[in-house]
Structure 1
Amino acid sequence: MASLNPSKSFKAFKVEDLMRLDDSYPSEFPKHELGFFREQLMNYINDVYLILKLALIFPVAITTVECAFSAMKLIKNDLRNKLGDQFMNDYLLTCIEKDVLDGISNDAIMDEFFDMKPHRQQ
């Protein structure tokens, strides 16, 4: 059973050791199913890591979605309920990602979108 211990990145995990369970419990592991049992053991670590990865990502994903819905609730109200989808998406993006946008100067934005500098003749 020490082979199933997840400590030290499953360092103790050995498929051959676990396959010896079929000697101790022949009624639980019929000979014709041993190939399937070996395959399941080979996938065990990959499946555990996938579950751990999803468990670690889940809280971040929920927080991001809740933040987006909170921002949408602030923006889309009775006075502004006729916003078009593209404008709404752009407005929400600026609201949600305001930390990133704070690092961009207003002059840089104006240069990018309004081209307020006079054109030079060549």
Structure 2
Amino acid sequence: MQIQEFNDRFDEVNTELLGCIASLSPNDSFREFDHLKVMRLSEFYPEDFSHMERMTLEHQLGLYIDNIREDERFANLKNLGDLACMMVETKKHLSHPLVYRLLKLVLTLPVATATVERCFSAMKIVKTSLRNRISDQFLNDCVICFVEKELFEKVTND
């Protein structure tokens, strides 16, 4: 049932993307690490990785996994957020900048997706049948006010 539910919610591309993200997982001393999946993950971000950078990333990945697995500070990490923090603490984000960039992109994906979903939900509330003929700019202004209401509550009339 879980596999059926998963297949109903995610298409092939999203499933492949999630599998590639999982290959970066630090669990069990990076047991799931897969060089090819990480390279495929970089292809999902063509504007962030040029062809030359992908070639450099390929070389960097071998050094990265050996370096990380040998370092005891990375042994008990549980998730990608912990991995990113530890890379910064140990300054390994400087020696493996392309891996770190990929990691940052992966970490922002859920936030970006949630933000877009939240905006669409807000737009459904703001754009009612009574407001069906408003201009795009006015609709945009209304949605921003609705989505960022905590910020707008702090603004005084003065």
Output the TM-score relative to the length of structure 2: 0.42
Sort the Cα spacing of 1:103 and 1:4 in 2 relative to 1 into closer, same or farther, 3 A.
Answer: closer
**One of 136, 149, 156 as aligned partner of 1:85:** 136
- The runs of 5 or more residues in structure 1 that have no matched partner are 14-43, 109-122
- The structure showing larger relative contact order (alpha-carbon pairs under 8 Å, at least 6 residues apart) is 2
Residue identity in the other structure for 1:99: E
What displacement does 1:77 show?
2.4
1:97 and 2:148 correspond: yes
Distance (Å, rounded) in 1 between the aligned partners of 2:149 and 2:140: 14
- The runs of 5 or more residues in structure 2 that have no matched partner are 1-64, 75-85
Cα RMSD (Å) of the superposition? Answer: 2.6
What displacement does 1:96 show?
0.7
**1:12-53 per-position Cα deviation (integer Å, ceiling 9, x unaligned):** x8xxxxxxxxxxxxxxxxxxxxxxxxxxxxxx8222111110
What displacement does 1:90 show?
0.9
The aligned runs of 1:37-116 (5 Å cut-off) are 45-105=96-156, 107-108=157-158
**1:9 corresponding residue in structure 2:** 87
**Which entry has the higher C-alpha Rg, 1 or 2?**
1
Output the TM-score relative to the length of structure 1: 0.52
Distance (Å, rounded) in 2 between the aligned partners of 1:103 and 1:96: 14
Q: Secondary structure at the match of 2:133?
A: coil
% identity of equivalent residues = 37
Distance (Å, rounded) in 1 between the aligned partners of 2:66 and 2:110: 31
Sort the Cα spacing of 1:94 and 1:9 in 2 relative to 1 into closer, same or farther, 3 A.
Answer: closer
**1:111 corresponding residue in structure 2:** none
What displacement does 1:4 show?
5.0
